[in-house]
Amino acid sequence: MTKLNECTIYQIYPMSFQDSTGTGMGDLNGIRQRLDYLSTLGVNMLWLTPIYRSPKRDNGYDVADYRTIDPDFGSLSEMEALIAEASERGIGIMMDIVANHTSTEHEWFQRALAGDSHYQAFYVFRDQAFVDAHPVGSVFGGNAWEYVPELDRYYLHNFDPSQADLDWENPAVRSAMADVLNFWIGKGIQGFRFDVIDMVSKDWQAMRMSNGPRLHDYIRELNRASFGGQEIVTVGETWGADLDHMRHYSNPVGDEFSMVFNFEHLGLGCDKWQARFGPQTFKQVVSRLQPGLHGQGWNSLFLGNHDLPRVVSYAGNDDPQWRDVSAKQWAILLHMLQGTPFIYQGEELGMTNRHWQRDELRDVEAINYCDSHAELGGAELSDRIDRIARDNARTPMQWDASEYAGFSDAPPWIPVNENYRQINAELQVSDPSSVFHCYRQLIALRKQLAVIGHGDFSLLDAGDPERCCYVRVYRDPETGVQQRLLVLANLSECHQEMPHFSSALEGKAPLISNYQDAQGGGGPSSLFRPYETAAWLLQDP
């Protein structure tokens, strides 16, 4: 397995990646067909969002059996073939572990409903008095307690009513989950992504559903009982992690995870539906986390995933005139940082959000939101959905200009983004100036330059809302040679003077840039063009 500092992980949303059977739904054999594409891109690991048997109320995050593949996606032997074929290309597979809850169709929950007290203790069943004293709202809207008349008790579901929270205070639950991990380790899995892992320890006194008192104990226990001490990359999804928690999670002793996802840099705030990306927030958070974890933990680097809007639409400018340079700008700004980058499928093409009609939405969260926010009125609601809804990230991968974007022969389960004729993999793989090749170059640079994986970080222009400039420095302990990596970005749509462009850079070709001419000859000047971004490597003796 490639080292964390040289590794880039690619996230696949299997439902929307490639359909091989003509059902309109992606599957494992579809992923196998596209391994050469992923190998050309140069990624080291594929994180697959859940592919286990599931009723898919929440697209697989409602697991009915952790050890079987959902028939919509294929079979266990196809999964084994995928693991083997990816491995032949030096690519590992990362499984998504949904440890906080199961589907109510899971056998454990069904047995609980049938009166089996052993399995009732797997879940958070409580009586009326407890529920009255502990009101909880679901992340997907409504009450998080569901009444079961036959048992005269309520069970907790922090998400959809079909996603019942497991009770991690019960050691049998923790050991059952370690068994699941060991099952997949036995199949040759090289990574795990842990879904909402900070919710497994609840704090009933403070009425917080995450970051409870035993959280880190549970993770250390899971580490010891399964992936610990092995060459396995682990990442926890932790919406509530601050720097202190992050250091615990990703401590250099290695008794928890390799890294976690912290979302602060995206500025989603307490009401994500009203969020707008702020480059200042991004800069502030990055300049706290990069030095804060340097030598004391490990960063994950990401701007998109299956729950977030498309990077170029949310963080950048998806207007056709600017889309290309803007997508590359955010790619360069992110990939020149210390950490392990995650690319969400289609991000490497600059795929964008789309405009939604109410009946095209598929995500339970977006549908509930529309139902409960009708008072906002059509235009405002539609604007929020178009900007933030998770379905934006879930439209089919745009492979080529043929019908359904080469994703399927049949109408897909969710609409294809209308811009697939302009934005698709076929066009970009053959065009060296494409967004795809910018990502490809960034992935390669990380493997070549120690300063990207190891260098320290200083932000050069903290208060400036229109530029993002930073420097990374690394001295090779053996040769004594110091590498400096300078990254300069104009975040605005206008030409701007770049104060950090010194005469030393004049005529010096950048390592990478989002304007084509920069590669060929003179390179950028101190007057940066709209969204112009470039990185230089400077060697000091």
Active site residues: 195, 237
Please report the sign of the dihedral spanned by the C-alpha atoms of residue 56, residue 60, residue 66, residue 69: positive
| Count of residues that bind ligand GLC according to CB under 6 A | 9
- Regarding 159 and contact with ligand GLC (CB under 6 A), the answer is yes
Which runs of E-coded beta strand occur in 311-393? 340-344
Name residue 528's beta-bridge partners: 496
Task: Give the closest residue to 512 by CA, choosing from 438, 428, 447, 451.
Answer: 438
- Regarding 58 and contact with ligand GLC (CB under 6 A), the answer is yes
Q: How far is the CB of 363 from ligand GLC (least distance, A)?
A: 8
Q: Are 258 and 4 in contact (CB under 8 A)?
A: yes
Q: How far is the CB of 240 from ligand GLC (least distance, A)?
A: 12
CA dist., res. 263 & res. 309, Å (int): 13
Find the binder of ligand GLC among 70, 72, 256, 307 (CB under 6 A): 307
Q: How far is the CB of 269 from ligand GLC (least distance, A)?
A: 16
Q: How far is the CB of 100 from ligand GLC (least distance, A)?
A: 7
CA dist., res. 164 & res. 313, Å (int): 34
Residue closer to ligand GLC (CB basis): 193 or 437: 193
- Regarding 146 and contact with ligand GLC (CB under 6 A), the answer is no
Task: Give the closest residue to 474 by CA, choosing from 498, 446, 501, 502.
Answer: 446
CA dist., res. 50 & res. 195, Å (int): 10
Residue closer to ligand GLC (CB basis): 16 or 434: 16
Find the binder of ligand GLC among 70, 165, 167, 195 (CB under 6 A): 195
Q: How far is the CB of 96 from ligand GLC (least distance, A)?
A: 8
10 Å Cβ neighbour count for 377?
9
Write out the binding residues for ligand GLC, residues 78-107 only, by CB under 6 A. Answer: 98
Q: Residue 216: enclosing H or E segment and its boundaries?
A: helix 215-225
Residue closer to ligand GLC (CB basis): 61 or 344: 61
Contact string (CB under 6 A) for ligand GLC, positions 216-255, x = contact = ---------------------x------------------
CA dist., res. 72 & res. 82, Å (int): 16
CA dist., res. 373 & res. 103, Å (int): 27
Q: How far is the CB of 195 from ligand GLC (least distance, A)?
A: 5
Q: How far is the CB of 79 from ligand GLC (least distance, A)?
A: 21
10 Å Cβ neighbour count for 453?
18
- 533: tokens are 């971004």
Find the binder of ligand GLC among 4, 15, 112, 196 (CB under 6 A): 196
CA dist., res. 47 & res. 417, Å (int): 23
CA dist., res. 502 & res. 525, Å (int): 9
- Regarding 61 and contact with ligand GLC (CB under 6 A), the answer is yes
Residue closer to ligand GLC (CB basis): 103 or 490: 103
Name residue 409's beta-bridge partners: none
The residue whose Cβ lies closest to ligand GLC is 61
Residue 391: DSSP 8-state: H
- Regarding 391 and contact with ligand GLC (CB under 6 A), the answer is no
Residue closer to ligand GLC (CB basis): 82 or 393: 393
Judged by the rule CB under 6 A, the positions of this chain that interact with ligand GLC are 58, 61, 98, 159, 195-196, 237, 306-307
